[in-house]
A and B are shown apart, each in its own frame.
Chain A
Amino acid sequence: MARHLFHPSNRRLRTWLDTGATRRVTQHVETCERCADRLEQLDQVERARTAGRGRMPIGDALRALLVTPDDLTLRVTDGLQTWRNGNQDLELFAELFSIGMDTARLVTPPAAPNVRGDAAPDGDSDPADPDEAPSA
């Protein structure tokens, strides 16, 4: 973690919370644990002052905006099953002709649709490749 010799004043931190100014303060608070804690304290004071205004809580507003489709689980499960079936066929094809999975993918048309019905992107050429899937 970066060590800082100088830290913004409370007044500058309050201004940053309200306006996001300046870029220099932004860079500082994003790397300074001490100032991130100070920001939290300043924010708590402000929240206590403005409490009881009857404003919609942010979490509730976000939930209303980012509502999850009712059939999400069903569609994802179905889509995954389709993908697994396609993958099993591909493995069989690769084994039958003694070729690698990448080659098998190249010589067969994409079969697995995603939840919207488009052709599924090739997972192995994806920047977020499964081989790079974050380990816990």
Chain B
Amino acid sequence: MRQGTPTGLASADQLGLSLAALIDQHGPAVYRLARSVVSDPGLSDDVTQETFIKVWKHLSTFRGDGSVRSWILRIAHREATAAVRRRRDRAVAPDQIDDTASAPPVAGQVEARLAMETFRGALEELDELSRAILVLREIEQLPYEEIAEVLDVPMPTVKSRLLRARRFVSTALEEWRD
């Protein structure tokens, strides 16, 4: 579902958007983007909150040149990469990182759980940028131009990384039938 906001408006206040509405509308996308970058669910929670603190601080200065969604996701991506950097600086051992699996789509099915773990492993092998591109395209359905804007990378980078990432993870989905 597209959640872009009309462009060319002077400020977010004029859009009549309350922060609660923004959290409700864009919170899940922010969380998923954060999770794709940092992997850790708890840290993704923190990144989501920090993102909306920054959104709140700067809502009145939002120029409205682009979509609110792109603006928020750009902040979220910067917060997530900063969180990864901080975590690297603290040199957290891999076994300290919470990688608790989400519930599989059909609870109790061992095959589904194994297939999901295989898929998770394939995702983890991708670099952070490729994971973020994959999520923004495959879940949030953002157009290439908007992904390039959110992640601040050239369009060919978006396209090539997306195609390669799709090809790479699709092999891990061979055993995961819908």
CA of A61 to CA of B161, assembled, Å:
18
Contact residues, A71-121 vs B (CB, 8 A): 72-73, 75-77, 79-80, 83-84, 114-116, 118, 120-121
Contact residues, A4-37 vs B (CB, 8 A): 16-18, 20, 26, 29-33, 35-37
Taken residue by residue from 134 to 161, chain B's Cβ proximity to chain A (1 for < 8 Å, 0 otherwise) reads as 1100110000000000001011110111
Q: Are A72 and B28 in contact (CB under 8 A)?
A: yes
A25 to chain B, nearest CB (A): 9
Residues of B within 8 A of A76 (CB): 23, 27, 45, 48-49, 52
Q: Are B155 and A33 in contact (CB under 8 A)?
A: yes
B2 contacts the other chain (CB 8 A): no
Residues of A within 8 A of B173 (CB): 55-56, 58, 61
CA of A97 to CA of B94, assembled, Å:
45
A22 to chain B, nearest CB (A): 13
CA of A33 to CA of B159, assembled, Å:
9
The interface of chain A, by Cβ under 8 A from chain B, is 1, 16-18, 20, 26, 29-33, 35-37, 39-40, 43, 46, 54-69, 72-73, 75-77, 79-80, 83-84, 114-116, 118, 120-121, 123, 126-128, 130, 132-136
CA of A62 to CA of B133, assembled, Å:
12
Q: Are A35 and B49 in contact (CB under 8 A)?
A: no
Q: Are A133 and B75 in contact (CB under 8 A)?
A: yes
Residues of A within 8 A of B152 (CB): 134
B43 to chain A, nearest CB (A): 9
Number of chain B residues close to chain A: CB under 8 A? 73
CA of A110 to CA of B24, assembled, Å:
27
18 contacting pairs across A/B (C-beta < 8 A)? A17-B167, A29-B156, A33-B155, A36-B159, A43-B166, A58-B138, A58-B169, A60-B178, A65-B120, A69-B41, A72-B28, A80-B53, A130-B54, A133-B75, A133-B78, A134-B152, A135-B61, A136-B62
Residues of A within 8 A of B67 (CB): 136
Residues of B within 8 A of A29 (CB): 156, 160
Q: For B135, give the chain A residue with the smallest CB separation.
A: A62
B64 to chain A, nearest CB (A): 6
Q: For A16, give the chain B residue with the smallest CB separation.
A: B164
> Which of B45, B54, B61, B157 is A72 in contact with, Cβ under 8 Å?
B45
CA of A96 to CA of B167, assembled, Å:
60
CA of A79 to CA of B31, assembled, Å:
15
Residues of A within 8 A of B154 (CB): 1, 30-31
Residues of A within 8 A of B63 (CB): 135-136
Most buried by B among A31, A79, A84, A133: A133
B97 contacts the other chain (CB 8 A): no
Residues of A within 8 A of B170 (CB): 55, 58
